[in-house]
Amino acid sequence: MKTVLITGCSSGYGLETARHFHAQGWNVIATMRTPREDVLPRSDRLRVIALDVTKPEQIAAALEASGPIDVLVNNAGIGLLGAFEVTPMSTAREVFETNTFGVMAMTQAVLPQFRARKSGVIVNVTSSATLSPMPLVAVYTASKMAIEGFTASLAFELEAFDVRVKLVEPGYCPNTSFTSNGGSRMEGLIPEAYAPFAARIFASFGQVTTVTSESDVAEGVWRAANDATGRLRFPAGPDAVALAPSA
């Protein structure tokens, strides 16, 4: 029986992905910054572990507690929406700490066991913002684009060790906590000069009819984790598939 470790499982994509892998009969290590046992089924094949991917000591402790794993899903991330002109560099660094460096740190931490066993899969969840430019998410997109390049290069680097690296690119999912998990991070990031432009963008969000669901992403991660064809990118959701050049 295979084991998957998934980061960012308290809600959204991570939570649904944990449920999906568990339903497929896998052992699931669901990690969260603040563990919640009530959001997932009680099972001897499912464990909830505390993990903040920006803290090296928590990464080490989580992997020690997990034991050998077969798949790492780097899903944990934070959102940011606002005009770049007024975005503090400290906020930009905060986004990169989770969305970029957190992914890199988790990946680096599991590589010794994957390389030694000559098996293992790393699935990095990015965004359809990497497929088509979107306004007011410049920093967020940059943090995800960095992972796209990182993953593509790493896939070549680990091929000799039979370790597979994949990208899942979710579309626009209005049900996730992208905005709410931004909290105070987004306050004041739409200054008066940008207000008319931002109002048009926000209005357009309400007119979108083709969107992604959490289950679309869970299924995309499942396909990526089990893919043996050498495919790198897996757009998830009908809007992401439409944007992907070779989907």
- How far is it, in rounded angstroms, from Cα 151 to Cα 232? 9
Mind giving me the DSSP string for 62-104?
A: HHHHH-S-SEEEE-------S-GGG--HHHHHHHHIIIIIIHH
pLDDT score, position 247: 45
Exactly one of 13, 140, 172, 194 is catalytic; name it.
Answer: 140
Whether pLDDT at 245 is above 90? no
Beta strand pairing status for 71-74 and 3-6? Answer: parallel
Query: If we measure between CA atoms, which residue out of 3, 67, 79, 65 comes closest to residue 35?
Result: 65
Whether pLDDT at 246 is above 80? no
Q: What is the overall mean pLDDT for the chain?
A: 94
Span 148-176, average pLDDT? 95
153 DSSP assignment = H
Encode pLDDT of 23-54 as tens digits: 999 999 999 999 988 999 999 999 999 999 99
Query: If we measure between CA atoms, which residue out of 147, 142, 131 comes closest to residue 87?
Result: 142
Structural domain containing residue 26: 3-243
How many separate domains does the chain show? 1
Whether pLDDT at 180 is above 60? no
Whether pLDDT at 112 is above 80? yes
The total of other beta-carbon atoms located within 10 Å of residue 67's CB is 12
Q: How big, in percent rounded to 5, are the helix, strand and coil portions of the chain?
A: 50, 15, 35
Torsion of CA 39, 219, 8, 22, to 10 degrees: 50
Mind giving me the DSSP string for 162-188?
A: T-EEEEEEE---TTSSTTGGGGGGGTT
* CATH number (domain holding residue 129): 3.40.50.720
Query: If we measure between CA atoms, which residue out of 190, 224, 198, 76 comes closest to residue 143?
Result: 76
- Answer yes or no: 140 catalytic: yes
Sign of the torsion angle spanned by Cα atoms 81, 139, 189, 197: negative
Percent above pLDDT 70 for the chain: 96
Encode pLDDT of 203-235 as tens digits: 988 888 889 999 999 999 999 999 999 999 999
